[in-house]
Amino acid sequence: MKKIITFICNGNIHRSAIAEIYLNKVLKKNKLDNEFIAKSYALQGTQGTPKPLHKNLMEYPKEYKIALPILKSFKIDITGHLYKKITPSAVEKSAVIIAMDKKTYSQAKNALIKQFPKYKNKIHVFSEFTENHKGIKDPFGNTSPKFHLATIKSICLTIEDQYKNILDLAGL
């Protein structure tokens, strides 16, 4: 049985989806995809909060148009990804859970730590792995190409550089 590394952001449209896809690429490249798999989920749609407006990034045309060339440069195909909300079962099955920002981790009314306190030891924040411990801000509604480039680049380069540390948390 593969160990599951789970990424969570607010809507599971952009950040956590990219992290999932990119970590799976890194796992395959390093022949670790028989032991580990990355998955991603959203906080939105849990504990009475509304679901995202759309199911995937392509349905947000302004953001998608800006993000697409950047995604292509990292060879990330996000077209098959669809929003999924986090569930107690997904949390239980995950070896490690990585919140893309502090809001998802602990600050939102439906934050991971608040919903799943008994699993707090396996819940981490992506900024633990980033240079200067900077978080990954939510790109929802942002149409700045620089912002999207910085966001996607930070996710991909952090995973490339830190995947062994992430896998250590999952029990490498």
Count the domains in the chain. 1
CATH of the domain at 99: 3.40.50.2300
Give the count of beta carbons closer than 10 Å to the beta carbon of residue 85.
19
pLDDT value for 171: 85
pLDDT value for 66: 95
pLDDT value for 172: 66
pLDDT along the chain (172 residues), means of 10: 97 97 98 98 96 94 94 96 98 98 96 97 96 87 92 96 96 76
pLDDT value for 73: 96
Give the count of beta carbons closer than 10 Å to the beta carbon of residue 7.
30
| Residue 6, beta-bridge partner list | 39, 97
Range of the domain at 32: 3-169
Q: Do residues 43 and 50 make contact, with C-beta atoms less than 8 angstroms apart?
A: no
